[in-house]
Amino acid sequence: MRKNPFDVLVRLRKIDEKMARAELANKRRAHDQARRKLEELKSKHREEIDVGELLGPVNLRSLQLRGMGSYEMLTEAADVYRHSERAMHAKAEAWRRAASDVDAAERLDERRRKELARDAAKAAQKSLDDLMGMLHARPKDGLI
């Protein structure tokens, strides 16, 4: 029996959609993780530091370095977050396209099936008409 190419197309499109959905879920998890990390670093950066009354040059330099390190970690986390957000949106768009492709393939397959059923019904009706025509055309004396 010959394989229906539309069945294969629909199956492949469903596989693509499932893979796109899985990739989107992975990107969402990565995005959530990046967001949590950024929030954690923001919270840590906002913590008040008890500096005491007088800061010596060494303490002041240490505080300055901690602030710069904290800022660099925040900047890096923000970059990771923005990158993960862009990646998540790209995967969401890819999933929407894949889902749309599945719908289009299914509609095409359904239309093809209806056309085949209509053609089969026409062929059956024509065969019945031909049979009835042959029955009416045969001699009435009982000989075939």
Which structural domain range is residue 35 located in?
5-47+64-106
Residue 144 within a domain: no
Residue 99 within a domain: yes
DSSP letter (8 states) at residue 123: H
The lowest-confidence range among 22-31, 33-42, 76-85, 128-137 is 128-137
Q: Which residue has the higher pLDDT, 89 or 60?
A: 89
Question: E strands along 51-93, which residues?
Answer: none
Predicted pLDDT of residue 50: 67
Predicted pLDDT of residue 141: 64
For the chain, how many structural domains are there in total? 1
Residue 18 within a domain: yes
The CA distance from 61 to 17, in Å, is 55
Please determine, for residue 1, whether its predicted confidence score (pLDDT) is greater than 60: no
Q: What percent of the chain has pLDDT over 70?
A: 92
- CA-nearest of 98, 106, 105, 102 to 20 is 98
The lowest-confidence range among 37-51, 60-74, 88-102, 119-133 is 37-51
Residue 91 within a domain: yes
Residue 95 within a domain: yes
Radius of gyration of the chain (CA): 35
CB proximity list for 6: less than 8 A, separation 6 or greater: 105, 108, 109, 112
Predicted pLDDT of residue 62: 82
Predicted pLDDT of residue 51: 66
Predicted pLDDT of residue 79: 95
Place of tokens 């294969």: 8
